[in-house]
Each structure stands twice: as C-alpha cells, then as structure tokens.
Amino acid sequence: MNAPTLASGATPPPASRRRYGTDYRALILGIVAVIVVAALPAMPFVNNYLIAVTVRALIFIALGQAWNIVAGIGGLLSLGHGVFLGLGCYATGILFNEYGLPPWLGVWVGALLSLLVALMMGTMTLRMRGVFFALATIAVSLALDQLARHYVDLTGGDNGLALRFLGNSLWFMQSRTPAPFLYAGLVFVIVYFWITKWLLASRFGLEMRAVRDDEVAAAAAGVPVFRTKLLGLLLSAVMTSVAGSLYMQSYQAIDPETAFGLSQAIQLQLPALIGGLGTAWGPVVGGAVMIFLSETTNFGSTKLGIAGVDILVYGLLLLAVVMYAPKGIMGLFANRLRGRR
Amino acid sequence: MSGLETAMVPVLQALLSGVLVGGVYGLLSIGLSLAFGVMRIVNFAHGDMVMYGMYVGVVASAAFGIDPLYALPASFVLMGILGALQYRIVFRRFVGHTTLNQLLAAIGLGLALQMVAQLVFGVDARSATSIFAGKYDLIGPFFFARAQIVAFALAGVATILVELLLRKTQWGKAVRAVADNIEAAEIVGLRSQRINLMAFALSCALAGIAGTVMVTYYPTDPTKGFSLMPIAIIATTIGGLGSIGGAFLGGIFCGVIQQMTAMLWNSALQDVPLYILLLAFIAYRPMGLFGQRSE
C-alpha cells in the first residue's frame, strides 16, 4: 500500500492567485482586526473578562497555527501536541519557581526540550505509516501525564504547578491585568501567521505539501521525505512550546490534565480544523470561532447546571467538521467565491 | 521452602495476576484489531463501546437483579447494533486508509458517546454485583480473584471463537478477502459494504462483552472508555495491528509488564514502561509480534 495516509483535502489554492500579487482585501481585513484587538483595552464597555477571553483566543490561535504546520501543511497525524505545550509550560514554570529564572530564558529551555522530544519521536516513527506516528504522539503524552502526576516535588502532581506571583513585572512576564498578554498574544499570532505564509510560499513548504499529498510521488521527484517530515515536526514543536510558555505566564498555572489531556489536545486541533487545514487564515478564523463557542456553551451550561457540555460541543464539532466540511470555514468561503466567478 | 523460593513467590504472583488481568486487556483489544485489520479504522471510540458494555452489566444487576454475566448476550447484540449504526453514519466513508479525518471523527464520536453516558448514568462510579465478586481462591502460595479467572476464561474463548470465525467460515473468508483487496472482492461478487458493516458491528459487540465481563470486578464511570483505550492500543500494536490472536497475547504481555512494574518499581508508574514499549515496537518492529503485513 503506498497511498498517502492523510487525505486532509486541503489542496493548495490555485497558484495563479497566490503567486502574483497580494490579496489586498485579506490584508486590509487583517490590519483592521489587529487594530481592533490592540485597541480593546481603550474601548468603552470592554472589561477584563472580555480582554481575558480575547487573550485566550489569541493563545489558542497561535497554538492552532503551530499544529496547522505539522498536520495541515505537513500531513502528520499528531494527536498529542499537548506534549510540547506541556513541556513549554512546565519548563518555564519550574525554572522560575525553583531557580527564579525569568521566562524570557525559560522559554528557550522549554523549546529545546520540545525539540529533543520531537526529534526522538520523529526519528523513531516518521519512517513508518502515519498511524504509527499518531499512536506514538498519544503514547508520549500519556507517559508525560503519568510522570507529571507522580513527581509531585517537581511538578505539583495532580494539583498542578502555580507560578509564584511577584506583582506586575515585565522581566518576569507577570501582570495583574490581562492587557499585556493581549499584545504578547497579538505578536505571536502575527509572527506565526507570517511563518505560515512564508512556509506556504517557500520551496520547503511546497515539499511538505508534496509529501502530504503523495509520499511516493514526492520521493520520486527528489524530495527528501523523511527529512521534510522531521523538520516540519521540529518547527511545529518549537512553535507550540514557545506559545505554551506564553500560556503559562498568562494563566500562571498548569496541571497534567490541562497539559497532556485529551480535551486539551483537541483544543489544539480545532482551530485549524474549523478554520481550514493547511491555510494561513484557517487557524485564525477557527480559533476565534472555537473560543466564542466554548465561552457561550460554558455560560449556557453553568446557567443550566449541567457540567461538561463544552466537551460534548467539542466532540460534535469535531465530527461535523471532519464529516461535512473537511476544508473548514475557509473551504466553504473559497467554494462560494469560486461559484460566483 | 528455601529463601530463594520465598523470594520468587511475589514475582510469580505478579506474573500470574498479570496474565489474568492481561487476558481481559486482550478481550478489549481484539475488536479494535479486527476493525483495523479489515477496514484500517483506528476506532478511538472503541473504549466507549467497552464503557457502554460495562453499563449494560450495571443495569442488569441494578435494575433486573441478575448477574452481569447473564447479560453478555444482550450486551453483544446491543453493542453490535450500536456499532452498525456508527459504521453507517460515520465510519463508512473512512474505509481503507487511516487518515487524520478518520482519527478525529473517532475521537469526536467517543467524546459524544462519553457525554451521553454522563447525561444518562451520571458522573459517579457504578459497579455491578456478580456472584464471583470478592471471592478469592488460594492455589499453593498464590491467590486469585475468582472474577478474574472467569473473565480470563471468557476472553480466551471469545478470542478462539473469533479466530475460528475468520479462518474457517465462509463469512470469515469474505471478510479477509475484502480486507486484502476491496476491488477484487467486489469483482467476484462480495458486497463489501455489507461485509464491512458486519465486521464493524462484530468489533463493537466484542467491546460490549469485554465491558460486561470487566464490570464483574471493576467499577465503571463515563470516562472509563478513554482511560481504557491506551492499553487496548498498546496491546493491539504489540500483537500486530490486525491480528486477533496477537491482540490477545499482546494484552497478556501488557498485563504482565504492568503487574511486574507495580511490584518491582512503583504502581503509580505502572503504565510508563508500556508507553516506552509501544514506542520501541513502533520504531523497531511495527508489524508487532504476529502481524504479517510489512508495509
């Protein structure tokens, strides 16, 4: 059997439109969105809750952008990207709590750890069929989950790890109000968007997509299949880990379930899936939609007094997207545009 | 008894308990392996079928006052029907290749099934009362939970029956033909969709009886489905994805390693060696112990 193991369906858009000239409408839309988000704290009727929700959306967009690279562009079935989120969170948190290392430096320790774990997972499994990589990502996240629960002295065990709070401090990336994280999150989303754009336009990104669509054909055309997959995974792992460190600073706490649990893994996947796998805009649109839905259902379920409705929504959302709109919102959008022409 | 023999007793006890626990892990895994072997579907909702099978036992014992083991046929049929529905609604479109979409659809389905169970049965752990529960047998210096012996025996019988079904009957031949080459099977007149549907229903029915057997000594709650999946996945991979007997032996292997780790190292970390083992198998022997396909 030599068929590709991932038929994500996210075939690249017609090259003619992409290659020549910028899509100015999208660019203007993006700039307006950035300005609106940046101006949120200055707007009337905007309270800290709304800003905190926006921060959450920005962080999950960034995490979704990182997952999008490995799964959307690279076609690797990563079901355990929480591994890298968790490593980023725990590394910055533990180094700060135990040794007072500022997160500006802790980030890179977490990123290095994630790089090493990704390298190990990748070299062990990426030569095999895709399903084995998927199983390996699950195994690593479960193993880290059990280890994090057991080594209580280091990780705080089941209860999790809380950052020592020192008050507002740029050097330690701590703040009483969520507004600073709004700008940090915005920077992340813009940089990650730019990385995705660059990847989609670059030779390396083209090779990744070639491997995703047909491994054998890509190999025949001279693409180094294994190396392409591995580099894609490493890039995505580091991006997830660095965004994970921001997650840690913003929430100031992490526990094994939040880091390595299944529902977190799904939250890392949903932005790209809802928005459109393999596209630069997909995770941005999808992340915003996901956080909006989860906030509304959380609000609704507390009103109704039923726990866990958000999990049900996530499950049904996964099913619906995968079965009826595998190209996500961007796919529906593109179809309508093409239909009009 | 000499000193060495006395020292060996706990090790052998762990080994034997591991085999007994592992037999049930095997029963969890054979259905998963069947669905993968025939349709290349990795059904992450398999554990939830097991969880529903456990609730069948709970309902039988709580509402009808009968032993969960008498509810086995009901569990088999109910989960078979549920499996057929799942296949018709969701998995039909994913036959043939393990894709990201297929994995995610199974996870989404699993979450939905878990939440439905939570709405129907509540979040609290429930258990069923079986005639074998809480009874222990002492054989020489070793003791065994009788419920686990019964469960092990049932698991072994189920595995042998499924192997015979696939190898000796006309239907089994058809299933294997569809698994090998779906186009060729259709050319010779096999209805691949119907055969896949039956195979998937069988896979879920096996999950159902695994759950009903387990609930005789192990309480259930709505999250049991996902917490049982790792073991089933590891057992299936070690045994060779797609191999029925392999999945059973893989389950026993997992049980033994778990019990040995718990005894020699730390029971809180009893699963960690399994995850490492899974990675090692994927890297060095992806066909597992008994899988034939090398691709």
> What are the per-10-residue average pLDDT scores of chain A (341 residues)?
44 49 77 86 83 93 96 90 94 90 91 95 86 88 90 86 82 82 93 94 93 91 93 96 93 89 87 91 92 85 73 85 86 66 41
* Chain A residue at shortest CA distance from B123: A307
CATH 1.10.287 for the B3-284 domain, yes or no: no
Fold of A15-340: ABC transporter involved in vitamin B12 uptake, BtuC (1.10.3470)
Which chain A residues are Cβ-neighbours of B99 within 8 angstroms? 5-8, 77
Q: What is the pLDDT of residues B197-247, one digit of tens each?
A: 999 999 999 999 999 999 988 888 888 888 889 899 999 999 888 888 899
* Chain A residue at shortest CA distance from B89: A323
Residue A143 touches chain B, beta carbons under 8 Å: yes
Predicted confidence at residue A8, as pLDDT, reads 46
Q: What is the distance between the alpha carbons of residues A299 and A297, in angstroms, rounded to a whole number?
A: 5
Inter-chain CB proximity A5 and B99 less than 8 Å: yes
Place of tokens 């073991």: B231
Closest CA to A321 of A265, A271, A268: A271
Inter-chain CB proximity A132 and B93 less than 8 Å: no
Residue A119 touches chain B, beta carbons under 8 Å: no
Q: Nearest Cβ partner of B112 from A1, A306, A315? A: A315
Inter-chain CB proximity A77 and B98 less than 8 Å: yes
Inter-chain CB proximity B93 and A146 less than 8 Å: no
Q: What is the distance between the alpha carbons of residues B285 and A128, in angstroms, rounded to a whole number?
A: 10
Between chain A and chain B, the number of residue pairs with CB atoms below 8 A apart is: 133
pTM of structure: 0.86
Q: What is the pLDDT of residues A59-114, one digit of tens each?
A: 999 999 999 999 999 999 898 899 999 999 999 999 998 888 888 999 999 999 99
- Give me B66's structure tokens: 């009968």
Domain spans, chain B: 3-284
Residue A77 touches chain B, beta carbons under 8 Å: yes
3 state SS of A149: helix
- CA dihedral angle for residue A122, residue A126, residue A129, residue A130, rounded to 10 degrees: 50
Q: What is the pLDDT of residues B136-149, one digit of tens each?
A: 877 777 878 888 88
Inter-chain CB proximity A136 and B282 less than 8 Å: yes
Q: From chain B, which residues contact A within 8 Å (Cβ)? A: 42, 90, 93, 97-101, 103-105, 107-112, 114-115, 118-119, 123, 226, 230, 233-234, 237, 241, 266, 268-269, 271-272, 275-276, 278-279, 282-283, 286, 295
Quote ipTM for the complex: 0.82
Predicted confidence at residue A3, as pLDDT, reads 43
Output the DSSP codes for A1-48: --S-S-----PPPPHHHHHSS--HHHHHHHHHHHHHHHHGGGSTT--H
Inter-chain CB proximity A273 and B104 less than 8 Å: yes
Predicted confidence at residue A16, as pLDDT, reads 46
Inter-chain CB proximity B278 and A323 less than 8 Å: no
Output the DSSP codes for chain B: --HHHHHHHHHHHHHHHHHHHHHHHHHHHHHHHHHHHHH----TTHHHHHHHHHHHHHHHHHHS---GGGGHHHHHHHHHHHHHHHHHHTGGGGTTS--HHHHHHHHHHHHHHHHHHHHHH-SS-B----TTTT-EEEETTEEEEHHHHHHHHHHHHHHHHHHHHHHHSHHHHHHHHHHH-HHHHHHTT--HHHHHHHHHHHHHHHHHHHHHHHTTTS-B-TTHHHHHHHHHHHHHHHH-TT-HHHHHHHHHHHHHHHHHHHHHT-GGGTTHHHHHHHHHHHHH-TTTTT-----
Q: What is the distance between the alpha carbons of residues A311 and A296, in angstroms, rounded to a whole number?
A: 13
Residue to substitute from A83, A135, A215, interface B, most B β-carbons within 10 A:
A135
Query: What crossing angle do the helices spanning B72-89 and B192-214 adopt, rounded to 10°?
Result: 140
Å between A248 CA and nearest CA of chain B: 26
Residue A3 touches chain B, beta carbons under 8 Å: yes
Q: Nearest Cβ partner of A139 from B101, B119, B275? A: B275
User: For B237-266, what is the mean pLDDT?
Assistant: 89
